[in-house]
Chains A and B, each alone.
Chain A
């Protein structure tokens, strides 16, 4: 497809379970981002990849959160031992920018709505 694709669209898990969220960026986009959006709030940065390198993971809220992009394309955000406060929409974005103060916009997927029971 032409846009950023995220799966699953919805995910319900019991507290304590592990979950994995997938992001397929726009073909050729070097930069990939994960954001967390709580209900009624703006997205908050989690982590950033340039190709396969994770250049910034300062937004990951705890060591239960882990992201990877092993071949510089598809990325997976994994949350271990989920807690109720992890319930949110997780947005993935990609950009043709390669750092250096790029003016390239980030293009977002439709997000994964995660609910922890």
Chain B
């Protein structure tokens, strides 16, 4: 089974609208962390937001928020008031466990295109 599933290969959104990028995950470990990264066409991976499995509140960072539904194992990224510069690939990733395991498992990504 895929550990991280991103079911939207591509999305087109009108500028200034909000957009939700889906991410579901699969783990039996009670301790884990979920990360979202943005990868523009230039190639660099830019960290956006983090949610820990024990965090009580949904994470927010500026225009980014994470809709964390633990029982459904989903961690959707919400971008408010989208901008042309938001056009990029977006990856959801997970870190599992507490001790010594820092590696991230990534999904296949969603290509977001903002339309002027």
Binding site for B on A (CB under 8 A): 31, 33, 35, 41-45, 48, 50, 55-56, 59, 89, 91, 93, 95, 97, 99-103, 105-111, 113
Q: Which 6 A-B pairs have the closest CB atoms?
A: A42-B106, A108-B45, A101-B98, A105-B47, A45-B103, A99-B100
Interface class of chain B by DSSP:
loop
Q: How big is the B interface, by class?
A: 20 to 34
Residue pair B97, A101 in contact (C-beta under 8 Å): yes
Complex Cα spacing A56 to B100, Å: 9
Interface centre among B44, B45, B46 (most CB of A within 10 A): B45
A45-B99 contact in complex given A103-B33, A105-B50, C-beta closer than 8 Å:
no
**A31 CB contacts on chain B under 8 angstroms:** 102
Complex Cα spacing A108 to B106, Å: 14
Contact of B44 among A41, A105, A108, A113 (CB under 8 A): A108
